[in-house]
Chain A
């Protein structure tokens, strides 16, 4: 009898470990696809109609809208194929559904919009290091709002990840600071908070909602906000109309398929492994982006890239820690696992 009990306990531990490891694999897959997505998006943005310098603001926002709306459609097809269609309507009418919608506004228009405008006004040398802090912001919010367990070692790992992303993406500042430079820094800070808040709001909602369904709600809200509010404000509709029948638009369509897969894995990973671990593993996108750039565009792998890669991998390992300790993600008063005969 006691042999059976200990065997059952061992099976339970193995099942919990497998669940956690699948979550980590999803986060890694999400980072890999996001790195590839960045390279493909970059190619699309360098083509007609997005490459026109006069469209510096409208073009990236139109591309972003096209990308997000299409990614939402691909995810909708996934949900239809896996029998989740009816769940979308049911989930919309709940408080967690509302939380996902709020997260969408933080992550889409505020996060991505702030990032794009920040890049334009302040340049990547300043914006990339600021926005690389978003996993740390998300983890701080997750610790406070979700009661997620984050040990000092994990904070060190998050700092290392942020440094790695910053080192990898750093380029020397060019020219004097413009009059809108500080506005650009502010926009980058807004993007950082926006992405962090999206992660925490969505993860909180996914306690009670299926991740692919929550993601679809996020994509619908973000897509609608882009199409109905952002694009009319920046004159993006004509760009979008031109993009639909242009080579650049076709590349964005391809990117949206990759992006949809990345989003899906990211949301599932956050639900399974917690915000801090999922984000720490997801930021490997910076590393994968450089690898794919080197493979497909012949970009050089500089010393800075290797240094940044080492910092990201080291930081990620510190945050993830021992997967066997991932069985219970949150601090709770209820007793955890008990095996009984």
Chain B
């Protein structure tokens, strides 16, 4: 029996739940395992989801820096994001009670 997959925006949040700051490309790479070939899991679509999630305070930008001429941004889930994600799942434990509930750190410990 195959479990029903989460909607992509929730899957993006779930990837960030580990507490590790990730870029859209990182998240897209991890989603590709569960959502192979889906256009909505491409880096550009994930970036759009992250922008929307950031605007409502469910994720925050952990770092923004230039790699050559490209702007690289990494994101973290917020406390509010964890709570909303936990609420969205049927029968899920309350936010903050899971073993994965780590603080979000920017790369190189510059949080």
Residues of A whose CB lies within 8 Å of any CB of B are: 4-5, 7-9, 11-12, 15-16, 19-20, 82-84, 86-87, 89-91, 93-97, 206-210, 213, 271-272, 326-341
User: Is the beta-carbon distance between B66 and A7 smaller than 8 angstroms?
Assistant: yes
User: Is the beta-carbon distance between A11 and B71 smaller than 8 angstroms?
Assistant: yes
Complex-state Cα separation, A8 to B71, whole angstroms = 7
User: Is the beta-carbon distance between B6 and A84 smaller than 8 angstroms?
Assistant: no
Given contacts A12-B61, A207-B53, A333-B80, 18 further A-B contacts (CB under 8 A): A4-B65, A4-B66, A15-B71, A82-B40, A83-B40, A94-B89, A95-B87, A95-B88, A96-B7, A96-B88, A97-B7, A209-B10, A210-B49, A272-B52, A329-B56, A337-B64, A340-B63, A340-B65
User: Is the beta-carbon distance between A208 and B84 smaller than 8 angstroms?
Assistant: yes
Mark B16-55 against chain A: 1 for CB-CB distance below 8 A, else 0.
0000000000000000000000111000000001011111
User: Is the beta-carbon distance between B78 and A208 smaller than 8 angstroms?
Assistant: no
- How many A-B pairs have beta carbons closer than 8 Å: the answer is 123
Mark B65-81 against chain A: 1 for CB-CB distance below 8 A, else 0.
11000010100001110
Q: A334-B60, A340-B106 are in contact. Are A208 and B10 (CB under 8 A)?
A: yes
Complex-state Cα separation, A329 to B52, whole angstroms = 10
Shortest beta-carbon distance from B32 to chain A in Å: 14
Complex-state Cα separation, A43 to B71, whole angstroms = 50
User: Is the beta-carbon distance between B88 and A208 smaller than 8 angstroms?
Assistant: yes
User: Is the beta-carbon distance between A94 and B6 smaller than 8 angstroms?
Assistant: yes
Minimum CB distance partner of B85 in chain A: A208
Shortest beta-carbon distance from B53 to chain A in Å: 7
11 CB contacts below 8 A, A to B, read A12-B73, A93-B4, A94-B88, A94-B89, A95-B88, A95-B89, A207-B56, A208-B84, A328-B55, A329-B55, A333-B79
User: Is the beta-carbon distance between B8 and A87 smaller than 8 angstroms?
Assistant: yes
Complex-state Cα separation, A87 to B40, whole angstroms = 9
Shortest beta-carbon distance from B19 to chain A in Å: 13
Shortest beta-carbon distance from B76 to chain A in Å: 9
Residue numbers in B under 8 Å from A337 (CB-CB): 60-61, 64
Residue numbers in B under 8 Å from A339 (CB-CB): 61, 63-65
Shortest beta-carbon distance from A272 to chain B in Å: 6
Taking a contact as CB atoms closer than 8 A, the residue among B4, B55, B63 that contacts A19 in the complex is B55
Shortest beta-carbon distance from B1 to chain A in Å: 14
User: Is the beta-carbon distance between B10 and A94 smaller than 8 angstroms?
Assistant: yes
Q: A12-B64, A82-B39, A87-B7 are in contact. Are A341 and B80 (CB under 8 A)?
A: no
Shortest beta-carbon distance from B25 to chain A in Å: 16
User: Is the beta-carbon distance between A207 and B66 smaller than 8 angstroms?
Assistant: no
Complex-state Cα separation, A5 to B71, whole angstroms = 11
Q: A328-B55, A330-B57 are in contact. Are A340 and B62 (CB under 8 A)?
A: yes
Q: A93-B4, A208-B10, A340-B64 are in contact. Are A328 and B51 (CB under 8 A)?
A: no
User: Is the beta-carbon distance between B9 and A208 smaller than 8 angstroms?
Assistant: yes
Complex-state Cα separation, A229 to B64, whole angstroms = 52
User: Is the beta-carbon distance between A83 and B39 smaller than 8 angstroms?
Assistant: yes
User: Is the beta-carbon distance between A209 and B89 smaller than 8 angstroms?
Assistant: no
Minimum CB distance partner of A84 in chain B: B40
Complex-state Cα separation, A185 to B79, whole angstroms = 43
Q: A94-B89, A340-B65, A341-B65 are in contact. Are A335 and B60 (CB under 8 A)?
A: yes
Residue numbers in A under 8 Å from B63 (CB-CB): 338-340
Residue numbers in A under 8 Å from B39 (CB-CB): 82-83
User: Is the beta-carbon distance between A5 and B88 smaller than 8 angstroms?
Assistant: no
Minimum CB distance partner of B53 in chain A: A207
Complex-state Cα separation, A101 to B13, whole angstroms = 22
